Chain A
């Protein structure tokens, strides 16, 4: 049996088990359209941030600055929008200004990604340290710009991204699906994606196969920041505001989601499909426990237990397979 597929099978089994368990524990409520819809509202922001984390982990790196990047992007976008909103005319902001705000926000994210990429690829700083530095710096910028206050009062159009529904499906979920598909295409169907995996497994071999390692790394951190920027749009829309400290507890969770989804912490392995399965598992657990009126802190405990359980099963599985080969 192929090792990578067996991880996906384990995840699917865990997902099925939790789905059945929750449906039985909370009959009538868990399976209701409203609950499924609210799960689809909550999933995209963590999902996009996890994709941002995952691509850096594939190269054997990490990006600790994603949350700070998302917040700064959100703040830049929100400031432009707010300054163009005249008192009392909240609902009517010209499309051009919205486009300008979004593009400027994403451009900010890309600059941070470029700094990360240059530090990691050219200066040779280990990714965890480089992004720890930019995380602190970017968070500092966000605090200085906002003076710690919340920026609120955004036009209705922005609220649509996080709270709107098209044909019963939340807009955020549609955006996430598109972004996940795009990431999957980049990783599996382009030469760049191939070199990301290669670089993660063996940088020396990659270098000698004539691949420009530096360029691959810089592109990786640019994509990571861009995805953090996408997450920012959903965040400002759902909170209907922007602030320096939103979503900080997501940072370590995105690493958990990636690893739970089969991304190797040392690089080289991992699939978008695994990550999506992992996200759905975590969402089932948190929504289910929420419906059961159990503290959200028990949810994070259970997330921790699930990841250790899956890691142990994977370890025992790979040991068993190795013995089979010998």
Chain B
């Protein structure tokens, strides 16, 4: 029991439970399977981004460009399937290829020229996004093929409601769950995964032990690119329109969710469980405020307060651990 309270995840989980009780007390509709499936589906887009961001943060870097990567991948995919047709496999392959390519460009700049990751990715965010708008003219795409529309409505299983309508576990949510599981396997059970933690903990030590830093960095940013591409695909599936300006600007929201889950910006720390809980916390807050009929104007205030309290609390925990050594670090 005591060991449980050493983990950041436990506290996030407790906060989620407390919120859920409060929300349910006000509105019974919160604690239903239907609402749960609904939240999971609409937040799978943020959730897939968050998986990629977790990898980057654990490796000791940060990526800001993923929203632009997602937008470019989504746009290229939409143009291709409208012009040449195809199916969901073609669409997935396209977003993955675009994601890997743009992610690799980030990794190459970071590795060969030692540009700080935040600077590299802010610069490439502007480059990718600017080029996309210039080339596409900023046009929105509405006329997505019928099969693309149909795919988004597939449910893995369906539950019928008394009123005749039904709900179920969406294929989009399933994709998110599968991605979380695969990423968890990579992080926990492969040498590559341990290398990501090692590199984030201390780059020089990782190098001396014999980890291939170049390979790990290429993997981390390409992986972020793939997740960004897939998140772009999911966004297109969810809203069935491709608007070049709909994703860029959400970078910091996603990073906030991951950080709430306990990933450290200094690298070396973070788990996928934490990330899922962080996304869940943000999702439940958004959904809960609506269900409690609190005006959406208050959303940012609540999220801001949660972030401040949560990061202050974990900074306090951290300091308690280091009490024996004199802590004079500025950050």
User: Which of A's residues lie within 8 Å of B, judged by CB?
Assistant: 59-61, 64, 119-120, 123-130, 132-141, 143-144, 147-148, 199, 203-204, 206-208, 213, 217, 248-249, 252, 255-256, 259, 265-266, 295, 297-305, 307-308, 311-312, 315-316
Q: Once the chains bind, are B302 and A140 in contact (CB under 8 Å)?
A: yes
Query: For chain B, which range describes its interface: under 10, 10 to 19, 20 to 34, or 35 or more residues?
Result: 35 or more
Q: Once the chains bind, are B130 and A298 in contact (CB under 8 Å)?
A: yes
Of the stretches B2-10, B27-35, B111-119, B150-158, the one at the interface is B111-119
Q: Does B307 make an interface contact (CB < 8 A)?
A: yes
Q: Once the chains bind, are B304 and A129 in contact (CB under 8 Å)?
A: no
CA distance A12 to B277 in the complex (A): 49
Q: Once the chains bind, are A137 and B308 in contact (CB under 8 Å)?
A: yes
Return chain A residues, CB-CB under 8 Å to B131: 297-298, 301
CA distance A59 to B331 in the complex (A): 9
Most A C-beta atoms less than 10 A away, residue of B129, B138, B299, B304: B304
Q: Once the chains bind, are A140 and B123 in contact (CB under 8 Å)?
A: no
Q: Whose C-beta in chain B lies nearest to the C-beta of A148?
A: B297
Which of B133, B304, B311 is in CB contact (< 8 Å) with A139?
B304
Using an 8 Å CB-CB cutoff, how does the interface string of B250-266 with A read, 1 for contact, 0 for none? 00100110010000011
Which of A130, A259, A315 is in CB contact (< 8 Å) with B113?
A315
- Expressed in whole angstroms, the minimum distance between the Cβ of A102 and any Cβ of chain B is 26
Q: Once the chains bind, are B127 and A304 in contact (CB under 8 Å)?
A: yes
CA distance A315 to B119 in the complex (A): 14
Q: Once the chains bind, are B327 and A307 in contact (CB under 8 Å)?
A: no
Q: Once the chains bind, are A138 and B304 in contact (CB under 8 Å)?
A: yes
CA distance A297 to B318 in the complex (A): 43
Q: Whose C-beta in chain B lies nearest to the C-beta of A61?
A: B331
Which of A143, A203, A315 is in CB contact (< 8 Å) with B330?
A203
Q: Once the chains bind, are A125 and B312 in contact (CB under 8 Å)?
A: yes
Q: Once the chains bind, are B118 and A140 in contact (CB under 8 Å)?
A: no
Q: Does B316 make an interface contact (CB < 8 A)?
A: yes
CA distance A203 to B327 in the complex (A): 10
With contact pairs A147-B297, A203-B328, A311-B113 given, residues A298 and B252 touching in the complex (Cβ less than 8 Å): no
CA distance A207 to B301 in the complex (A): 35
Return chain A residues, CB-CB under 8 Å to B266: 126
Q: Does B190 make an interface contact (CB < 8 A)?
A: no
- Expressed in whole angstroms, the minimum distance between the Cβ of B107 and any Cβ of chain A is 14
Q: Once the chains bind, are B304 and A135 in contact (CB under 8 Å)?
A: yes
Q: Does B300 make an interface contact (CB < 8 A)?
A: yes
